[in-house]
């Protein structure tokens, strides 16, 4: 494998300011997972009982059997927890995105009616609340299609958002390939939305959370009291709110479940947090579809030619001249394990520099000798590469006086005679006078020191060239 699929770069070191409506410093997305009636159960055609996310410590599936206690806990979420949460959010006038398991929605018509009446977004949480990891790609695609069909029957319109949760390695791609969704959320990898390129389709991803999530009441280590949940939410809010005040507005997702946070002792912590957040200015409580619409309008996706997806020929054509007249560096770099992290100037530079650094002394010397003299004969004859021409012009080396040109030519000759390769410096980092001062100082160094210095300068020149054309 020489192409690594995981994306460790994301928005990179300069993540965009979300620019939320009204100049909000933070967007808080309240998500209510509705799973009651869609979980593993013999009644639902499954082979075992549910064992995930309940207050039963150490729960395990019961193969071939119904689990009365587990069922009654899920029932509590629908019968009592949901209505307690519905009252909380409607009295606070906070809109919610519901992750609705489609078969669960079908078994809970009054709750669906209440969601619609409140103006909540009902997104899809998959056809059933079961693990997808063992499903074949065809089976999962069929379930996704069934979920779309049933969701529209139940709510009157297809879902615009999707979160499976117990997903497979195929889930994100399969949901994106439907081309029917304004957003998908089966990732936990960022504090901001981002665009995912799936074939020729640009899919918006709104990352979700498993830590600012009441599921931690049912997992270890986790929350025991509502106060612990409140404190974690408050600390998260305070950090993100401060970043928003510095022009780096982010998104804060909070995940909830009827049967967990809907209990009286737990919901008190959530209520305390909502009161705290609403006491601040510059706080936006959107549904996820509202986030998607804003992001699509404010931060539309722009595709660019990605180095990690180039053929060897194209990679060499594009980057073969970054190290002066040394295309072999790009040819060899293409064989490295490249991925999304290399689709930027720093990433490509890292790959090229690895090849240069591990090359033989003679090969690196060849790169040094491929560089032109500063303000030398090639420059005078206008035979420099376009990059070298622009670089020397940036320090006004193309407009020297006769005396300055004579000084440069004498220094070039003396340096070459002593060290055996041209004087190399990243001229864009210096003024004309600074270059002359460095020239005069470095010429006295021993050749080993100058070889190391020149190699470092070659890498710096390459870095600046790449930054001209890549993110």
Burial class (CB in 10 A: 0-12, 13-18, 19+), 141: middle
Whole-angstrom distance, CA of residue 95 vs CA of residue 90: 8
Whole-angstrom distance, CA of residue 391 vs CA of residue 371: 12
Whole-angstrom distance, CA of residue 243 vs CA of residue 457: 36
Whole-angstrom distance, CA of residue 156 vs CA of residue 158: 7
Q: What SS3 class is residue 423?
A: coil
- Which two three-digit tokens encode residue 290? 């509202």
Q: What SS3 class is residue 303?
A: coil
CA angle 226/228/232 to nearest 5° reads: 120
Whole-angstrom distance, CA of residue 11 vs CA of residue 181: 22
User: Are the C-beta atoms of 78 and 111 separated by less than 8 Å?
Assistant: yes
Whole-angstrom distance, CA of residue 411 vs CA of residue 403: 12
Answer yes or no: 299 catalytic: no
Q: At what angle do helices 402-419 and 447-467 cross, to 10 degrees?
A: 120
User: Are the C-beta atoms of 97 and 120 separated by less than 8 Å?
Assistant: yes
* Helical H segments across 246-311, by residue range: 258-261, 264-278, 288-298
Q: Which of 125, 371, 419, 430 is catalytic?
A: 371
Whole-angstrom distance, CA of residue 286 vs CA of residue 284: 6
Residues with Cβ within 8 Å of 396's Cβ and at least 6 positions away in sequence, in order, are: 432
- Which two three-digit tokens encode residue 36? 């009651």
CA–CA distance from 22 to each of 249, 283, 359 (Å)? 12, 9, 55
Residues with Cβ within 8 Å of 222's Cβ and at least 6 positions away in sequence, in order, are: 215, 216
Taking alpha carbons only, the member of 142, 176, 150, 149 closest to residue 162 is 176
CA–CA distance from 433 to each of 21, 348, 436 (Å)? 49, 31, 5
Radius of gyration of the chain (CA): 30
- In angstroms, how far is the first alpha carbon of the chain from the final one? 25
Residues with Cβ within 8 Å of 30's Cβ and at least 6 positions away in sequence, in order, are: 89, 94, 95, 96, 97, 254, 256, 285
Catalytic positions, please?
Answer: 371
């Amino acid at each position: 494998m020489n192409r690594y699929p995981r994306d460790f770069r994301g928005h990179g070191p300069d993540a965009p300011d979300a620019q939320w409506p009204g100049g909000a410093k933070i967007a808080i997305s309240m998500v209510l997972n509705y799973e009651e009636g869609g979980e593993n159960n013999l009644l639902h055609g499954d082979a075992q009982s549910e064992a995930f996310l309940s207050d039963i410590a150490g729960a395990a599936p019961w193969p071939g059997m119904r689990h009365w206690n587990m069922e009654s806990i899920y029932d509590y979420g629908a019968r009592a927890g949901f209505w307690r949460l519905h009252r909380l959010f409607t009295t606070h006038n906070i809109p919610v995105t519901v992750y609705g398991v489609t078969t669960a929605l079908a078994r809970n018509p009054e709750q669906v009616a209440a969601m619609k009446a409140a103006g909540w977004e009902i997104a899809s949480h998959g056809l059933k609340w079961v693990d997808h990891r063992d499903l074949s790609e065809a089976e999962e695609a069929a379930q996704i299609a069934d979920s779309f069909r049933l969701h529209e029957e139940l709510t009157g319109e297809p879902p615009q958002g999707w979160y499976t949760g117990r997903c497979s390695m195929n889930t994100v791609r399969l949901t994106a390939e439907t081309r029917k969704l304004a957003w998908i959320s089966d990732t936990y990898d960022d504090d901001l939305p981002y665009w995912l390129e799936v074939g020729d389709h640009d899919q918006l991803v709104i990352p979700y959370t498993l830590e600012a999530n009441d599921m931690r009441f049912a997992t270890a280590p986790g929350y025991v009291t509502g106060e612990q949940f409140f404190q974690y939410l408050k600390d998260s809010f305070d950090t993100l709110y401060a970043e928003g005040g510095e022009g780096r507005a982010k998104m804060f997702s909070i995940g909830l479940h009827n049967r967990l946070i809907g209990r009286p002792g737990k919901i008190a912590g959530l209520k305390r947090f909502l009161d705290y957040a609403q006491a601040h200015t510059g706080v936006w409580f959107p549904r996820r579809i509202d986030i998607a619409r804003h992001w699509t309008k404010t931060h539309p996706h722009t595709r660019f030619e990605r180095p990690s997806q180039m053929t060897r020929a194209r990679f060499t054509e594009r980057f073969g001249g970054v190290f002066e007249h040394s295309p072999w560096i790009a040819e060899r770099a293409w064989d490295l394990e490249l991925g999304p992290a290399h689709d930027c100037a720093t990433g490509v530079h890292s790959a090229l520099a690895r090849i240069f650094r591990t090359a033989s002394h003679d090969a690196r010397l060849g790169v040094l000798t491929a560089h032109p003299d500063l303000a030398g004969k090639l420059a005078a004859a206008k035979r420099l590469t376009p990059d070298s021409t622009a670089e020397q012009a940036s320090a006004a080396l193309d407009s020297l006086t006769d005396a300055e040109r004579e000084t440069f030519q004498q220094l070039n000759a003396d340096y070459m005679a002593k060290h055996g390769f041209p004087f190399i410096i990243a001229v864009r980092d210096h003024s004309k006078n600074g270059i002359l001062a460095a020239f005069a100082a470095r010429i006295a160094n021993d050749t080993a020191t100058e070889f190391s210095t020149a190699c470092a300068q070659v890498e710096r020149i390459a870095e600046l060239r790449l930054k001209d054309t890549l993110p």
